[in-house]
């Protein structure tokens, strides 16, 4: 990375400090990389104000919105991107390790993995990979050497990372579920999951209902299978409990990823690789290219149709345009005031309104602990663990690039019910719990991060106003067969984007790219 | 009703004409009762503007908000009520029959029934009944003489209105379900349904999942039961499909109404009686007493905490107060901008945010056909019908008070999937379909309402920006055990009201009264 890029990156990240700090919350707890006297900051984070005009407004500077903006600019259209936060990247968020003496290293508090890479099988995440490559951002392999750890029924075991599943009492049910989910998912058409042969049945039940009727019943005795591994599979993929999600939605998600193995696997799967410099760099690079077309700290409050144009308004500004792309999660898009209401703009506009009432964000906390070095590797461990209990139930080696022996980073997910419990606690309480959990999985050294609490980083997405949870939105039963394509059907001069609207790798950065490209194409066709 | 009351009622209703007419939609299609040069209108519907102050702001002038405001005013507090619509009454809405030559008669396009009345059993709707009585508004019996009609499997039959259930192939399953739902509901504590012994199981499944595993399997042959009657029971109570709702939520709803029989029964049950002059009169009377404390056409956009006060802002106004009561459905309350965000105001504030992403409005259209006279009575029919097909699957005799031989009114509900289909069609298409359905149930005369299309009235709640569906919000699996009391727990200086927060008769006007009283008590305690 050259100096120029570094400066601009800090600049665009900079606004985050104020936004996150003002009310004592936010997904980053360390903003030491910000540099508020940077000239580029003033430009990139200037507030939209007054009456502006352009061809197309893009709401949201996550990957989807930036991809759409980039595509439209490339076609010569005038574009303004309005971002609510003081930073770009949406649900990707880099975190500098400066406070641990590693100012040149970055970890992530949001979405980070990429895989399979092009060439790795039939279902690669080629869209995000190729975009990153165009932007000069490379990838590196997720550390995956040695054994995995599993903690179940009070017992800690290790097993080869080449094994498909951990061996504990949950294994029989996990194998049943893996097989069944993959088979059923094959019957779900990606462009119209509501047309699956059994759509009416699958969208009438939760994943937990399927588990209760299809798995070996748990809890009948000490040698009888439990279903915790299946539960963990759902939690680790969606950050939601199996009770919350429609079976059809889950099968669509599995199909959209090319199968459950892609979702769960590291080498050659969805967690195969990471982006050099952190996944947020992708958004930052696109934002740099957009220059002053991007406005930070500019939440959109209202989208008005008037005189054949669309007026997109926030606190103190209005932008008049020919079209608008709303590239934020459906749950948040529902909080914008539409004038006239969506129901008045199209005979089926009310379906989009009702859909936004039924497409909630999951619950997640992502934690990172920074150590002097990746000590678990000395024990022959990959840093990956699964657990049937505790707050942290899935971990990864998240040591930043380039690796040089120091530091080492363990990352963990707190998901679903646990995320709701621990989001309500203090940072200190979470830290103590995470140390306990990591200690149980990786031994005493895991309890001593660099500088204690200073070595603890957390992404509190449930507390982030502009996320409302994380990592993605899921549908309860009925969501797909009742609302079908309302998540992406244009209404009036409004087009919808965001990874929740994608057909392939929905919920992932790759799906975000697809959705941004698709929305841009819609707009280009409409304006040609 | 004296002249003064009539004038004021028209005045407060008046603003509706502009709101509903501007974008060609709205829950009333006849606003001939409005009288825009009325002096009282200017007062009651004046727009809030500038900087205002009071002790307590109430958001929403439905029954809950008006009850809260009334209770606070009675204690000497200064109160301002801010209503988004150009009328009061929320999900109650009167409709004059003036265009059919009956300017003195009113039907309803929203909630209308009251029952059991005080004295009718152990679980009366005493709160709404007593409130109406205080306001001088009496009740009259829902017409319930003669036989009911049932249409099933292509066959129209009639049966005594004294029978508990219609006799068709769905009856065996309906009896199983009635018995089971009532038994299970007894195990659900009204103040904490998430503490039911089987809460974890019941809140992990949909009502449809329960039906699939507990009822006699339908569709195996012509003489085998179907479950349409159970489906219709859920549809007619919640206006939702059984696939959309958590079993625990459904059982809580049943418990909250004192049992399923109360929900389904006319004489002595939830549909026992109606309010003279229409249910909206209750809100109109409370609004009259509030006088210029009420501001119509004043949607609240933002609730800000600052300097120990709460600032409630809309388009062009800000009200500073000690407390605010948000008395609108949770799905709509989630669309207000909170500054700082709810998550920053209380450690569990994020739960309220996530709850509002998961508490959607159901889907409903309510239709009324006006006839020269209630001809079905001549055939010995009560005007009540059930059907396993068509758009309208439940009907009532909705002839307005006082009855004098003319007119006669048939009312029908279009619910769930059917409401989503028909909300997207034109008024003319719906009219034709409703005529077909009513004709099938009540014969050829049902196809000839007064003046044709002029005799057709519809409440299109799915298209109403300030409802987003109807009649009430329901929770999918997980909603109760994950979010517990977040629907009503105060956050900062904000208190929550609305029938969705009630413990007894939640979803009903009676629950709205309970919730308004409870919120007012919270505020009084906080300010004392």
Mean pLDDT of A240-249: 98
A470 domain residue, yes or no: no
Is the Cβ pair A24, B417 closer than 8 Å? no
In our burial notation (b when 16+ CB lie closer than 10 A, e otherwise), range A177-189 reads bbebbbebbeebe
Vertex B230 angle, CA B224 and B235, to 5°: 140
pLDDT tens string B486-510: 999 999 999 999 999 999 999 999 9
In a domain, A436, yes or no: yes
**Strand pairing class (B300-306; B309-314):** antiparallel
In a domain, A16, yes or no: no
A132-187 pLDDT, tens digit per residue, is 999 999 999 999 999 999 999 899 999 999 887 888 888 999 999 999 999 999 99
**How much is the pLDDT for B48?**
75
**pLDDT tens track for A70-85:** 999 999 999 999 999 9
Query: CATH no. for residue B326?
Result: 3.50.50.60
Distance from CA of B210 to the nearest CA of A (A): 9
Mean pLDDT computed over every residue of chain A = 91
User: CB–CB of A477 and B353 under 8 A?
Assistant: no
Residue B38 banded pLDDT, cuts 50, 70, 90: very low
User: CA-CA distances (angstroms) from residue A524 to A52, A57, A142, A311, A501?
Assistant: 21, 13, 38, 19, 18
Report pLDDT for B393.
Answer: 98
Is B329's pLDDT higher than 70? yes
Can you tell me the mean pLDDT for B469-483?
98
Q: CB of B464 within 8 Å of any CB in chain A?
A: yes
CA-CA-CA-CA torsion sign (A141, A145, A147, A149): negative
Q: From CA B154, how far away is CA A187, in angstroms rounded?
A: 33
Q: With DSSP H G I counted as helix, E B as strand and the rest as coil, what are the percentages for chain A, rounded to 5?
A: 40, 20, 40
**Using the beta-carbon criterion (under 8 Å), do A341 and B23 form an inter-chain contact?**
yes
Furthest-apart CA atoms within chain B: distance in Å: 70
Q: Specify if B32 maps to a domain.
A: no
Mean pLDDT of A371-383: 98
Same domain, B481 and B453: no
d(CA A474, CA A482): 14
Residues 387-426 of B with CB under 8 A from A: 417, 420, 423-425
Does residue A350 lie within any of the structural domains? yes
Judged against a pLDDT cut of 80, whether residue B3 lies above it is answered with no
Residue A163 is predicted with a pLDDT of 86
Residues A456-475, mean pLDDT to the nearest whole number: 98
User: Which of B350, B414, B415, B422 is the mutation pick for testing A, counting most A CBs within 10 A?
Assistant: B350
Q: What is the pLDDT of residue A21?
A: 30
Domain count, chain A: 3
Q: Per the domain annotation, does B422 fall within a domain?
A: yes
How are beta strands B102-108 and B94-97 bridged, if at all? Answer: antiparallel
Q: Is B445 found in the same domain as B296?
A: no
Question: Has residue B221 got a pLDDT over 70?
Answer: no
| Nearest chain B alpha carbon to A247 | B205
Query: Which of A117, A127, A60 has its CA nearest to residue A89?
Result: A60
pLDDT digits (tens, 9 = 90+) for B337-391: 999 999 999 999 999 999 999 999 999 999 999 999 999 999 999 999 999 999 9
- Report CB contact under 8 Å: B417, A468: no
In a domain, A523, yes or no: yes
List chain A residues with CB under 8 Å of B203. Answer: 243
Helix (H, G, I), strand (E, B) or coil at B189: coil
User: What value does the mean pLDDT take over residues A101-113?
Assistant: 97
Average pLDDT over residues A263-286: 97
Q: Is B358 on the interface with A (CB under 8 A)?
A: yes
Question: CA torsion, points A284, A290, A291, A292, in degrees to nearest 10?
Answer: -120
- Based on the domain organization, do B337 and B481 belong to the same domain? yes
Residues A241 and A331 in one domain: no
Confidence of residue A517 (pLDDT cuts 50, 70, 90): very high
Assess whether A320 and A351 both reside in one domain.
Answer: yes
Average pLDDT over residues B162-188: 92
| Residue B458: CATH number of its domain | 3.90.660.10
In the stretch 111-130 of chain B, residues with CB closer than 8 A to chain A read none
CA distance A504 to B112: 47
Q: Report whether pLDDT(A474) > 50.
A: yes
CATH of the domain at B247: 1.10.405.10
Given B436, B463, B490, the domain boundary residue is B463
Inter-chain touch B361–A348, beta carbons under 8 Å:
no
> pLDDT at position B223, please?
64
Is it the case that residue B294 has pLDDT exceeding 90?
yes
Cβ proximity of B264 and B53 under 8 Å: no
Q: Which of B255, B95, B23 is CA-nearest to residue A341?
A: B23
Residues B303 and B342 in one domain: yes
Together in a domain, A108 and A134: yes
* Domain around B428: 94-146+362-463
Tell me: do B347 and B377 sit in the same domain: no
The verdict on B353 and B482 lying in the same domain is yes
Q: Taking 90 as the threshold, does the pLDDT of residue A9 lie above it?
A: no
Whether the CB of A204 is below 8 Å from some CB of chain B: the reply is: yes
Domain C-terminal end among B259, B288, B323:
B259
Same domain, B250 and B311: no
- What pLDDT was estimated at residue A33? 37
Query: Are A131 and A190 part of one and the same domain?
Result: no
Residue of B nearest to A421 (CA): B348
Question: What angle is formed at CA A248 by the lines to CA A245 and CA A254, rounded to 5 degrees?
Answer: 90
Which residue does chain B place closest to A354, by CA atoms?
B468
Question: Residue B29 and residue B457: Cα distance in Å, rounded?
Answer: 7
- Tell me which of A350-364, B40-54, B284-298, B412-426 is least confident: B40-54
Of A31-45, A377-391, B364-378, the poorest mean pLDDT is in: A31-45
Confirm whether B84 is domain-assigned. Answer: yes
What is the predicted pLDDT for the residue at A222? 61
> Is the predicted pLDDT of residue B305 greater than 80, yes or no?
yes
Distance between CA A447 and CA B392 in Å, rounded?
64
If one counts every other C-beta atom within 10 angstroms of the C-beta of residue A47, the result is 13
My answer on whether B327 and B374 are in the same domain is no
Residue that finishes a domain, picked among A227, A257, A287 = A257
Segment among A432-436, B68-72, B153-157, B282-286 with least mean pLDDT: B153-157
Element (H, E) at A238: helix A228-238
**Best B478, B482, B485 residue to mutate vs chain A (most A CBs within 10 Å):** B478
pLDDT band (50, 70, 90) for residue A452: very high
Check: CB of residue A468 under 8 Å from CB of residue A332.
Answer: yes
Say whether pLDDT at B446 is over 50: yes
pLDDT at B509: 98
């Amino acid at each position: 990375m050259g100096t120029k890029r570094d400066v601009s990156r800090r600049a665009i990240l900079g606004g985050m400090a104020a936004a996150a700090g003002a009310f004592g919350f936010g997904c980053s707890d360390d903003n030491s990389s910000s540099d508020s006297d940077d000239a580029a900051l003033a430009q990139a984070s200037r507030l939209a104000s007054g009456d502006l005009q352009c061809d197309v407004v893009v709401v949201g500077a996550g990957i989807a919105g930036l991809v759409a903006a980039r595509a439209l600019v490339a076609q010569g259209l005038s574009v303004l991107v309005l971002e609510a936060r003081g930073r770009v990247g949406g649900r990707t968020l880099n975190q500098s390790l400066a406070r641990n003496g590693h100012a040149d290293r970055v970890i992530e508090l949001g979405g980070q993995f990429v895989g399979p890479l092009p060439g790795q099988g039939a279902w690669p995440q080629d869209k995000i990979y190729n975009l990153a490559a165009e932007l000069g951002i490379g990838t590196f392999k997720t550390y995956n050497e040695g054994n995995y750890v599993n903690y179940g029924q009070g017992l800690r075991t290790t097993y080869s990372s080449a094994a498909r599943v951990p061996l504990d009492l949950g294994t029989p049910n996990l194998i049943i579920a893996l097989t069944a989910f993959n088979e059923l998912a094959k019957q779900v058409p990606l462009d119209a999951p509501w047309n699956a042969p059994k759509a009416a049945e699958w969208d009438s039940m939760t994943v937990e209902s399927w588990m209760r009727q299809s798995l070996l019943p748990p809890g009948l005795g000490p040698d009888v299978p439990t279903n915790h591994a299946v539960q963990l599979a759902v939690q680790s993929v969606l950050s939601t409990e199996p009770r919350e999600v429609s079976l059809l939605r889950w099968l669509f998600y599995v199909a959209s990823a090319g199968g459950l193995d892609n979702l769960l696997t590291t080498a050659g799967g969805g967690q195969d690789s990471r982006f050099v410099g952190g996944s947020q760099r992708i958004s930052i690079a696109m934002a740099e290219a957009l220059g002053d077309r991007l406005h930070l700290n500019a939440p959109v409050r209202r989208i008005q149709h008037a005189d054949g144009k669309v007026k997109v308004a926030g606190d103190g500004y209005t932008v008049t345009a020919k079209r608008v792309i709303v590239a934020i999660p459906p749950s948040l898009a529902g909080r914008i005031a539409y004038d006239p209401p969506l129901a008045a703009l199209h005979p089926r506009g009310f379906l989009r309104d009702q859909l936004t009432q039924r497409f909630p964000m999951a619950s997640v906390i992502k934690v990172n602990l920074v150590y002097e070095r990746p000590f678990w590797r000395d024990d022959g461990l990959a840093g990956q663990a699964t657990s049937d209990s505790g707050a942290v139930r899935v971990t990864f080696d998240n040591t930043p690039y380039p690796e040089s022996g120091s530091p080492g980073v363990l990352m963990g997910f707190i998901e679903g019910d646990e995320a709701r419990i621990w989001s309500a606690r203090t940072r200190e309480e979470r830290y103590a719990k995470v140390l306990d959990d990591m200690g149980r999985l990786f031994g005493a050294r895991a309890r001593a991060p660099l500088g204690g609490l200073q070595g603890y980083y957390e992404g509190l997405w449930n507390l982030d106003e502009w996320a409302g949870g994380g990592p993605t939105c899921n549908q309860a039963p009925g969501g797909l067969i009742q609302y079908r394509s309302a998540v992406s059907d244009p209404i009036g001069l409004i087009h919808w984007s965001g990874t929740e609207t994608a057909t392939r790798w929905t919920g992932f950065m790759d799906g975000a790219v697809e959705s941004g490209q698709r929305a841009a194409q819609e707009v280009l066709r409409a304006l040609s």
